[in-house]
Amino acid sequence: MAIKMILTAPDPRLKKKAQPVASVDADVRQLMDDMLETMYAAPGIGLAAPQVDVLKRVIVLDIDREDTKTGPLFMANPEIVEASDEDATYEEGCLSLPEHYSDVVRPAKVTVRYLDRDGVQKDLACEGLLATCVQHEIDHLDGILFVDHISSLKRNMILRKLLKVRKEAERDAAEGKASKPGAMGKESASAG
């Protein structure tokens, strides 16, 4: 397994639509394993392939909370086949938007259909944090970030701040300065 670099917004590669996998072969399984390791190292509770610069419809999740313990979940070609009329609001974060969080409204319950790590088709009924996380990760496959669900005012503020942080890091690197301690600070609640 290998830890991959996670792209951060704003980055045009995060806005692209990912392609379905033809089957869950050895390459896709390798990608799933690398993504899980990358997600754990971040740490995060979900990760989508476009975040590691691979435009395939693959996501991984592992939610370990008091009320939701999923263990590792590997999903290829995931799609929402059922969604509740009832909505839920969660404060979301994302490994591609480090240190930024915002309330996002989504259907409270969804059923996701996907191919698992063995290529077997599954339907999984999700609610609570798992429902939010699955929808957040599938959004990534369509080039949608959680900030695309909030006001443009707040979205632009977050993206400007992220751009500023990146430019400062690039300038420091160019001047040969060591990166600031805490610049890679952990983000405990990030969905991915």
The catalytic site residues sit at 137
Nearer to Ni ion, 49 or 94 (CB): 94
Look at residue 46 and give its three-state secondary structure: strand
Binders of Ni ion: how many residues, by CB under 5 A?
2
In which order are the strands placed within the sheet that holds 109-115?
46-48, 58-61, 73-83, 109-115, 121-127
Q: Which of 10, 98, 107, 192 binds Ni ion (CB under 5 A)?
A: 192
Nearer to Ni ion, 94 or 126 (CB): 94
Nearer to Ni ion, 52 or 94 (CB): 94
User: Structure tokens of 69?
Assistant: 């313990």
Nearer to Ni ion, 6 or 108 (CB): 6
Could you say whether residue 147 binds Ni ion (CB under 5 A)? Answer: no
Residue 172: count other Cβ atoms within 10 Å of its Cβ: 14
Q: How far is the CB of 129 from Ni ion (least distance, A)?
A: 14
Q: How far is the CB of 79 from Ni ion (least distance, A)?
A: 18
Could you identify the residue written with the tokens 């008091």?
A: 66
Closest residue to bound Ni ion by CB: 94
103 vs 83: CA distance, rounded Å:
19
CA dihedral sign, ordered 157, 163, 165, 167? negative
Positions in 68-97 near Ni ion (CB under 5 A): 94
Binding footprint of Ni ion on the chain (CB under 5 A): 94, 192
